[in-house]
Structure 1
Amino acid sequence: MSEDNHYRFSNRVLLVPMVAVLAIWTVYWFEIKYQINLNNFGVYPRTLKGLRGILFSPFLHGSIKHLYNNTIPLAVLSAALVYFYRDISWKVLLYGILFTGLLTWLIGRSSYHIGASGLIYLLVSFIFFKGIFTKYYRLIALSLIVVFVYGSLVWFIFPLKDGISWEGHLAGFLTGLFLAIVLKTKVPEPKKYVWEKEDYKEEEDEFLKHFDEEGNFIERLEPEDKENESLKVIYHFKKKTKEN
């Protein structure tokens, strides 16, 4: 598959980020509008009731600042995922949410863990490691961009600040690494020149025929066309007549 066919824009590149952002903002608006708190639908570790947070927690946020901080990274990273890894993007999102939530449920503190930050760490981790594993120049470039923009997030997988679910961040980071190893993706075949092909024969290369075994240039004159050899040009001279 060529690069042009593999990396082409589709409506999903815009649709998926728009739906994701609209979903988290709608849930927050619903809480403000009706003065309710849905935090108890978040992940509460090692309780049967807390398992429902595996699906619901990415849509819940504790404040407008928390929501805003997750909005832009979620939109940018989900768009990058769909564009560059369209064949496995749904698997990454679905399995990523499930595994991140489950791992948070297993290792988290006894508190409600909410927010899309776990999903963001999942996307950062997956895009970075998958690009490195594929060794494809475009995906490696994407990995470097992700590190440059979001590399500082790695510090928050450690318990450095109270009130932040570092367990959710760590769960997302580890899940992204796991999916980058397990999930396979199609990578465009690099363009091969004539001399890189398996059926290439050096002795039939017209360019190499101009060089000897030691690499010295040899001037090869093409045989003259037989028709040109027999071509004759005949000139007819018209005598001038004296005008009266």
Structure 2
Amino acid sequence: MRPFLLPLQLLAVLWAVHLLNGMLLDGRLLQLGVQPSRSPFWHVFSAPLIHGSTDHLLANSLPFVLLGSLVLTRGRQHFWRVTLVGAICSGLGIWFFAPAFSQGYLSRHVGASGVIFGYLGDLLLLGWFERRAASVLLSLITAIAFGNMVFGVLPAEPDVSWQGHLFGFLGGVLAAWISTRSLPPDH
């Protein structure tokens, strides 16, 4: 249970925000999502905490905990690095590259999937960057268990933020690369 504790605690925060938004705020927190080319920078940090529906949060819950727990096996500092770099890259990718309008409406992107794809990118490429048996094994396990998620970085459905997925994934790759560059020489 211990390796799952931090991701479960963060998931509890996501659910608390969702319940607060739905029960007390009448969905007003959705305004804190990332609007391409329009939002203030800090919405990059608020958007992953907010979900558009209960189904949206349910779909993100299990991958968030499982992939987050695998990232956490590399240590808390690594976990927070991947979480923050994934969120920032996802949000900035949306801000710069997502269309301002989708299906005739002003688009606003919310949800933790950019962070989740950051976890995926980190886990898949960490073995390549480190070239250590344990890291390669972790990358292989991730590829077998979650490899089909990679297709989420492609444009498929109009109401899914594939840009957030793609740039979150790239953020995870960047975090993996940064982590391997900050290892001590004998690691």
Q: TM-score, normalised by structure 1?
A: 0.67
Match of 1:238 in 2: none
| Correspondences of 1:151-166 after superposition (within 5 Å) | 151-166=147-162
Whichever structure has more helix as a proportion of its residues is 2
- The Cα offsets for residues 97-150 of structure 1, whole Å up to 9 and x where unpaired, read as 223212221111211011100000000001110122211112111111111121
The amino acid that maps onto 1:15 is: L
Q: Cα RMSD over matched residues? A: 2.2
Which one of the candidate residues 53, 77, 91 is aligned to 1:63? 53
Q: Tell me the residue number matched to 1:219.
A: none
What residue number does 1:88 align with? 78
| Structure 1 position 144 matched with structure 2 position 132 | no
Contact 2:87-2:115 at 8 Å conserved across structures: yes
Matches within 5 A, 1:69-148: 69-110=59-100, 111-148=107-144
Measured after TM superposition, the shift of residue 164 of structure 1 is: 0.3
Deviation at 1:86, TM superposition (A): 3.8
Gaps of 5+ in 1: 1-8, 191-244
Matching residue's letter, 2:31 = N
Q: Distance in 2 between matches of 1:27 and 1:20?
A: 11
Deviates more, 1:115-124 or 1:87-96: 87-96
Aligned to 1:23: 13
Query: Per-residue deviation at 1:50?
Result: 4.3
2-side partners of 1:25 and 1:150: how far apart? Answer: 23
Identity %: 29
Q: Is the 8 A contact 1:84 1:139 kept in 2?
A: no
Deviation of 1:44 (Å): 0.6
Aligned twin of 2:23: 33
Whole-Å Cα distance in 2 between the matches of residues 91 and 173 of structure 1?
13
Structure ID, larger Rg: 1
| CA deviation profile, 1:192-228 (whole Å, cap 9, x unmatched) | xxxxxxxxxxxxxxxxxxxxxxxxxxxxxxxxxxxxx
Q: Which residue of 32, 36, 41 maps to 1:45?
A: 36
Moved more, 13-22 or 55-64: 13-22
Question: Partners of 1:160 and 1:99 in 2: how far apart?
Answer: 21
2: CA distance between counterparts of 1:51 and 1:36?
24
CA contact (8 A) 2:71 2:79 kept: yes
Aligned partners of 2:153 and 2:163 also within 8 Å? yes
Equivalent residues of 1:42, 1:52 under 8 A apart? no
Shift of 1:95: 2.6
Is the 8 Å Cα contact of residues 86 and 170 (structure 2) preserved in structure 1?
Answer: no
Is 1:96–1:175's contact at 8 Å kept on the other side of the alignment? yes
Greater RCO structure (CA 8 Å; 6+ sep): 2
Deviation (angstroms), 1:186: 4.3
Secondary structure (helix, strand or coil) at the match of 1:88 reads helix
Q: Which runs of 4+ in 1 moved over 6 A?
A: none
Equivalent position amino acid for 2:79 in 1:
S
